[in-house]
Amino acid sequence: MPLTKKDLTQIKGVVHDEVENLARITAKGFEQVDKRFEQVDKRFEHIDGHLQHIDARLDTIEHDMADIRKHFVYRDEFEEVLHRLSAVEKKLGMRSSK
C-alpha cells in the first residue's frame, strides 16, 4: 500500500518535531557543558594565582640562596685554614686556642 500525501505530510511533521526536540536537548547539553567549563576556568584562574605566588616565593628563596653561597666556605677549606693558622701560631710561639 503506497503512502499518500497526507501520510508523507504527517511523517514529515513527526520527523521535524523529533529533530526539533533533539536540537533542544543538544542545546541544553551544550549549555551545561559551557557552565562546567566556566567553573573549570575559574579553578584554573585560582590555581594560576597560587602558582604565581609560589613562583615569587621561589625567586626569593633562590636569591637568598645565591647570597648565602657567596659567603659559604666548605668544611675542608675551613679545616685547611685552621691547620695553616695553627702552624703559623706555632712558628710565632703563640698558643693555639685548641
Mean pLDDT for the stretch of residues 80-98? 87
**Does 90 fall in a domain?**
yes
**Does 39 fall in a domain?**
no
**Does 36 fall in a domain?**
no
**Does 88 fall in a domain?**
yes
What would the grid cell of residue 29 be? Answer: 547539553
pTM here is: 0.49
Q: List, for residues 43-70, the tens digit of each pLDDT value.
A: 999 999 999 999 999 999 999 999 999 9
The range of the structural domain enclosing residue 89 comes to: 51-98
d(CA 90, CA 83): 11
pLDDT(97) > 80: no
**Does 15 fall in a domain?**
no
Coil, strand or helix at 74: coil
